């Protein structure tokens, strides 16, 4: 899946050599911080041409590679 | 929400830094006057604040609501509205001639007791203080990006900055949870004299084909343990701002160490300005 690969590539830039699975909670594992969260939102909007609304900015939507991918696919469909 | 404070903080320039600074001070209870050239710039700034606050709330459930923060920020394009300000934080473009024009306007409208915090990357504080009637109340505060998140700043004492100004500004920063260290005035101060050498030389390494951007940043993050590599940092700051800062450093020192990399110039001409244009050394 192209979307998932792009998300994984983006994340890998921040987490260095740490290994994560698609279901792993990246915040619980302390792999990223709040500064990263801002960059992640900008990446999702810019890379996939979608606009996230305030109600989309929920930790559940950003907690793992799978949930980020699901959010992007959902928003792409709506757009 | 933090306790409401009496002081009025005017933020001049509603770009990325000014917007983040306005958000932070409003979050800590200050009344903000946010000034820029047009209503449309100011409206965009308020939208950015709303989104940033929503992102913050993802991690911090008890963080204040965007509406509460926005209520404390008054937007204007009229310098006359700054006359009641206790502090001005100036964040306009990193061009001496633009700043000079702004300082001349500020000099005409501020009250004598107002403290002026210059948020600049490289321009000497003493040079900008020269445009003001009270240079003892002018001080440099190099806020780090993004200012609504970072907890440290470099404070710069101009030639005429008084001890009273230093102490009051230290207290002001402490009230918004920012620690600082005070250094003497010098173009680029400590942080940017060092960081811009790293960014410029990293760009030269890419330009010469010695290593790609990914490799260079990896050496800094995984090798040196930095949180972010120099090229990612350049993208975050903005290639245009990095280029302007290098030009100021070169002009002030007349030293070839600060000669801007041809690659940085090329990226500027191609509008590859980093995160803000979705592409710089990396894609976003």
A58 contacts on B by Cβ (under 8 Å): 58
User: To the nearest whole angstrom, how far is the Cα of A2 from the nearest Cα of chain B?
Assistant: 15
pLDDT value, residue B141: 97
User: To the nearest whole angstrom, how far is the Cα of B61 from the nearest Cα of chain A?
Assistant: 10
Given an 8 Å threshold on Cβ–Cβ distance, is A59 in contact with B51? no
> Do B35 and B81 form a contact (C-beta atoms < 8 A)?
yes
pLDDT value, residue B1: 54
Report the C-alpha dihedral over residues B47, B64, B93, B175, rounded to 10 degrees.
170
Question: By C-alpha distance, which of B228, B248, B244, B234 is closest to B277?
Answer: B234
What gap in Å lies between CA A35 and CA B145, rounded to an integer?
10
- Domain of A55? 2-78
Q: Record the tokens describing residue B67, joined without a space.
A: 């509406």
pLDDT value, residue B65: 86
User: To the nearest whole angstrom, how far is the Cα of B236 from the nearest Cα of chain A?
Assistant: 9
Do you know the residue count of chain B? 284
- How many domains does chain A divide into? 1
Whether chain B has a CB inside 8 Å of the CB on A1: the answer is: no
φ, ψ for residue B103, nearest 5 deg: -65, -35
Q: Record the tokens describing residue B3, joined without a space.
A: 């306790």
Whether chain B has a CB inside 8 Å of the CB on A57: the answer is: yes
Whether chain B has a CB inside 8 Å of the CB on A39: the answer is: yes
Whether chain B has a CB inside 8 Å of the CB on A37: the answer is: yes
What gap in Å lies between CA B15 and CA B119, rounded to an integer?
12
Given an 8 Å threshold on Cβ–Cβ distance, is B149 in contact with A38? yes
> Do B146 and B270 form a contact (C-beta atoms < 8 A)?
no
Nearest by CB to residue B275, choosing from A42, A54, A57, is A42
3 state SS of B143: strand
Report the C-alpha dihedral over residues B13, B18, B21, B27, rounded to 10 degrees.
80
Nearest by CB to residue A38, choosing from B146, B232, B283, is B146
**Catalytic annotation on B142?**
yes
Average pLDDT over every residue of A18-37: 79
User: To the nearest whole angstrom, how far is the Cα of B111 from the nearest Cα of chain A?
Assistant: 37
What gap in Å lies between CA B59 and CA B63, rounded to an integer?
9
Given an 8 Å threshold on Cβ–Cβ distance, is B51 in contact with A35? no
pLDDT value, residue B269: 98
pLDDT at A21 over 60: yes
Given an 8 Å threshold on Cβ–Cβ distance, is B149 in contact with A34? yes
pLDDT value, residue B120: 87
Paired with B74 in beta bridges are B33
- The strand pair at B138-143 and B8-12 is best described as unpaired
> Do B116 and B86 form a contact (C-beta atoms < 8 A)?
no
pLDDT value, residue B278: 83
Token pair 């948020």 is found at B119
pLDDT value, residue A78: 72
Could you say which residues of chain B have pLDDT below 70?
1-2
CATH number of the domain at A30, please. 1.10.1200.10
Label residue A43 by pLDDT band (50, 70, 90): confident
Paired with B143 in beta bridges are B153
**B137-179 pLDDT, tens per residue?**
999 999 998 898 889 999 999 999 999 999 999 999 999 999 9
**A54-68 pLDDT, tens per residue?**
888 888 898 899 999
Nearest by CB to residue B55, choosing from A13, A27, A57, is A57
Instruction: Answer with the residue of higher pLDDT: B41 or A52.
Output: B41
Given an 8 Å threshold on Cβ–Cβ distance, is B51 in contact with A62? no
Question: By C-alpha distance, which of B178, B199, B179, B204 is closest to B188?
Answer: B199
Q: How far apart are the first and last CA of chain B?
A: 33
pLDDT value, residue A1: 67
- The strand pair at B152-157 and B87-90 is best described as unpaired
pLDDT value, residue B246: 95
Label residue A46 by pLDDT band (50, 70, 90): confident
């Amino acid at each position: 899946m192209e979307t998932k690969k792009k998300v994984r590539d983006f994340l890998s830039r921040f987490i260095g050599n740490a290994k994560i699975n698609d279901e792993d909670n990246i915040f619980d594992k302390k792999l990223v911080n709040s500064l990263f969260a801002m960059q992640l939102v900008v990446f999702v909007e810019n890379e996939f041409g979608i606009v996230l609304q305030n109600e989309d900015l929920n930790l559940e939507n950003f907690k793992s590679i799978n949930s980020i991918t699901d959010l992007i696919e959902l928003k792409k469909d709506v757009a | 929400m933090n306790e409401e404070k009496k002081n009025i903080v005017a933020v001049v320039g509603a770009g990325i830094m000014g917007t983040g600074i306005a958000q932070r001070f409003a979050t800590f209870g200050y009344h903000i006057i946010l000034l820029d050239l047009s209503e449309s710039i100011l409206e965009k700034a308020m939208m950015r604040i709303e989104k940033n606050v929503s992102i913050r709330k993802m991690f911090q459930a008890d963080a204040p609501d965007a509406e509460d923060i926005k209520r404390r920020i008054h937007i204007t394009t009229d310098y006359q509205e700054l006359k009641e300000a206790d502090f001005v934080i100036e964040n306009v473009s990193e061009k001496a001639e633009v700043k000079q024009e702004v300082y001349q306007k500020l000099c005409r409208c501020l009250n004598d007791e107002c403290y002026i915090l210059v948020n600049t990357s490289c321009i000497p504080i003493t040079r900008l203080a020269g445009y003001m009637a009270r240079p003892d109340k002018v001080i440099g505060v190099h806020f780090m990006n993004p200012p609504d998140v970072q907890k440290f700043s470099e404070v710069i004492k101009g030639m005429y900055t008084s001890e009273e100004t230093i102490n009051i500004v230290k207290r002001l920063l402490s009230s918004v949870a920012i620690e600082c260290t005070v250094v003497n005035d010098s173009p680029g101060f400590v942080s940017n004299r060092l960081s811009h050498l790293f960014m410029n030389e990293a760009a030269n390494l890419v330009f010469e084909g010695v290593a790609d951007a990914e490799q260079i940043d990896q050496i800094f993050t995984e090798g040196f343990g930095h949180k972010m590599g120099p090229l990612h940092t350049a993208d975050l700051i903005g290639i245009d701002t990095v280029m302007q800062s290098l030009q100021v450093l070169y002009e002030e020192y007349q030293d070839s160490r600060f000669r801007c990399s041809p690659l940085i110039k090329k990226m500027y001409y191609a509008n590859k300005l980093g995160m803000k244009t979705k592409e710089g050394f990396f894609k976003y």
